[in-house]
Structure 1
Amino acid sequence: MNTRIHEILKKYPSELLDEWLVALNASGVRRDALMKEGELRDQCAEFLRLLTRAVEQGNIHDTTTPAYASVRELLERLSRSRSLQGFSPGETATFIFSLKQPLFGRLRGEFTKDAQVVADELWAATVLLDKLGLYTTEVHQRTREEVIVRQQQEMMELSTPVVALWDRIVALPLIGTLDSGRTQTVMETLLQRIVETGAEIAIIDITGVPTVDTLTAQHLIKTVTATRLMGAECVISGIRPQIAQTIVHLGVDLSDVVTKSSLASAFSWALKRLNQTIGTGPRAAPTKG
């Protein structure tokens, strides 16, 4: 079975390539804005070359063997590229599945007098191409998941800006829910900023945090503790009445943490702590008349 499929691949490389391209264009998966015809032809030709060598050397029923390593590497590269270009998993898998029509046609034509051989060869070719097609969808999905994780990480970093409010005073306004992953990013960002600015006081403003539960409070306490270990004071601002009641109801102990109702109050406290004041300009003289 391996030899017969290999014979077809080796005997009709140009014909299979041309017929495959016709099938691909008919399927509508090639979009001119994303992929030119010359590029697609090169990809198909390379795949047929590698597949011919793999089928000759390896077990046609097992595409995980070393013989198919080059084929898998090519499909991984193509699948990742198509995923990033915006092709769907189905469009990506169609690159492989569209080869069935020309390959099946050649197999029928070559062994037309032996129905059993044709049936066996068609089944072997189906299993082979199905496995390779499914492999492209796995790579495509994995690539999309990696992109989503990276985007979430980038959004998390963007949503935790540390602002230098004053000399030796930084502020971290938090918006949204705090979970374990975001807390780690918050902590790392804040501590790094403290090192960079030499800040002595860090204000964590939770005005934009909708609710505070036990887990959120624990995350805040961990961040405060880490900040203190860096030699900086930590103030939590934005403690609204409902949040204060929730914290008391949960039994969370924030007695050793400075808390303020607003960012302005926290900033004023920080200035006094550092014996600093904000000067005011001269008042304008009152007008007569």
Structure 2
Amino acid sequence: MHGVGQILLQNRAGVLDAWLAHLRDAAPAARPASLQLLKLELGTLVEKLTAYFLASDGEGAGAAFRTLEEQAATISAACARDGLTPMETATLILALKAIAGGLLNREAGNGITEPDQARAALDAAVDKLALITFATFVETREEIIKRQGRALLDLATPALPIWRHIILMPLVGIIDTQRARQVMEWLLEALAREEAHIAILDVTGVPVIDSRVALHLTKTVEAARLLGSRVIVTGISPDAAQTLVKLDVDLSSMITRGTLRAGLAEAFRLLGENARGPAGTML
């Protein structure tokens, strides 16, 4: 479809300006910096679309269209990272159909051959780009959500060296199977990294201590024991203690203390050190 390619080549600036104007109307929340980046990326997409129609038969095959697909995917990923919605992103790509299609209609009387076929080829190419854009947007958003989830887990499960040979891991929130596995992994890594002999697991911020959570804690204690370290579990509430007794959960392998303060005292006792902080203050 050399006619489509020639028209896009001759009117590239007008197509791009109309496209950016549509973007500002369709996504008013987009940041100015994001609009500047999108202007460059959309300009590249127009160039690649022009090259595709100059070099191909308009059916979406070949190397020319693959580069076009890659650019559309790049734009979609950028939109996802910048906070645009799926509707705004899809509308952005589909707007090219109306903008370039209107241009073809205006040029229909200026020597373009088979205008209906040219418009159909343009619509087919943009529709395929829209599908690619949506798929990439979903993949990017899922990756962002996973990355944010990992960041939240990192924040919710820190391993803090609080004394020589003692680390503290305060747990906050619900402990499911995935998080329990990460707790064990990060605790063992911290024990080895800090050469710690004692780890304190504080579960004051865990809303529910049931048999499943207790099983995860038991496995963590046993894994730490294999490294030659001891684990003290603190913060089990009276209600949680009654629940665990009713469930007949075996916690005989655990060292438990009611409060973090009591857990620290036990940790110093196990180390054989005086349970006093700097300048002789009581811990």
Query: What is the TM-score of this pair, normalised by structure 1?
Result: 0.81
Conserved? CA contact 1:171–1:202, under 8 Å:
yes
Q: Percent identity?
A: 31
1: CA distance, partners of 2:202 / 2:31: 50
- Cα-to-partner distance string for 1:36-64 (whole Å, 9 max, x where unaligned): 56x5554344222212333455564446x
2:135 to 135, 138, 152: 138
Conserved? CA contact 1:201–1:232, under 8 Å:
yes
Q: How much has 1:119 moved relative to structure 2? A: 4.4
Closer/same/farther in 2, CA of residues 165 and 110 from structure 1, 3 Å limit:
closer
- 2:9 maps to 13
Task: Kindly report which structure 2 residues correspond to 1:212-231, keeping only aligned pairs within 5 A, or say none.
Answer: 212-231=209-228
Closer/same/farther in 2, CA of residues 235 and 181 from structure 1, 3 Å limit:
same
User: 1:170 is matched by which residue type in structure 2?
Assistant: I
User: 1:54 is matched by which residue type in structure 2?
Assistant: Y
Structure 1: gaps (5+ residues): 283-289
Conserved? CA contact 1:170–1:201, under 8 Å:
yes
Conserved? CA contact 1:161–1:172, under 8 Å:
yes
Larger Rg: 1
Conserved? CA contact 2:52–2:64, under 8 Å:
yes
After TM superposition, the structure 1 stretch with the greater mean CA deviation from structure 2, 150-159 or 188-197, is 188-197
Aligned residues: 274
User: 2:223 is matched by which residue type in structure 1?
Assistant: A
2:171 to 171, 174, 180: 174
1: CA distance, partners of 2:38 / 2:239: 61
Report SS of the residue matched to 2:33. Answer: coil
- 1:186 maps to 183
- 1:287 maps to none
- 2:125 maps to 128
1:273 to 270, 273, 276: 270
2:46 to 40, 44, 48: 48
Q: How much has 1:122 moved relative to structure 2? A: 3.2
Closer/same/farther in 2, CA of residues 161 and 42 from structure 1, 3 Å limit:
closer
Closer/same/farther in 2, CA of residues 232 and 41 from structure 1, 3 Å limit:
closer
After TM superposition, the structure 1 stretch with the greater mean CA deviation from structure 2, 66-75 or 17-26, is 17-26
Closer/same/farther in 2, CA of residues 13 and 223 from structure 1, 3 Å limit:
same
2: CA distance, partners of 1:215 / 1:53: 60
Conserved? CA contact 1:34–1:85, under 8 Å:
no
User: 1:21 is matched by which residue type in structure 2?
Assistant: D
User: 1:234 is matched by which residue type in structure 2?
Assistant: V
- 2:32 maps to 33
Q: How much has 1:109 moved relative to structure 2? A: 4.5
Closer/same/farther in 2, CA of residues 230 and 20 from structure 1, 3 Å limit:
same
Q: How much has 1:232 moved relative to structure 2? A: 0.1
After TM superposition, the structure 1 stretch with the greater mean CA deviation from structure 2, 269-278 or 48-57, is 48-57
Closer/same/farther in 2, CA of residues 279 and 262 from structure 1, 3 Å limit:
closer
Q: How much has 1:239 moved relative to structure 2? A: 2.1
Query: What is the TM-score of this pair, normalised by structure 2?
Result: 0.83
- 1:285 maps to none
Asked if residue 203 in structure 1 is aligned to residue 200 in structure 2, the reply is yes
After TM superposition, the structure 1 stretch with the greater mean CA deviation from structure 2, 208-217 or 94-103, is 94-103
- 1:91 maps to 88
- 2:18 maps to 22
Report SS of the residue matched to 1:264. Answer: helix
- Root mean square deviation, CA, Å: 2.9
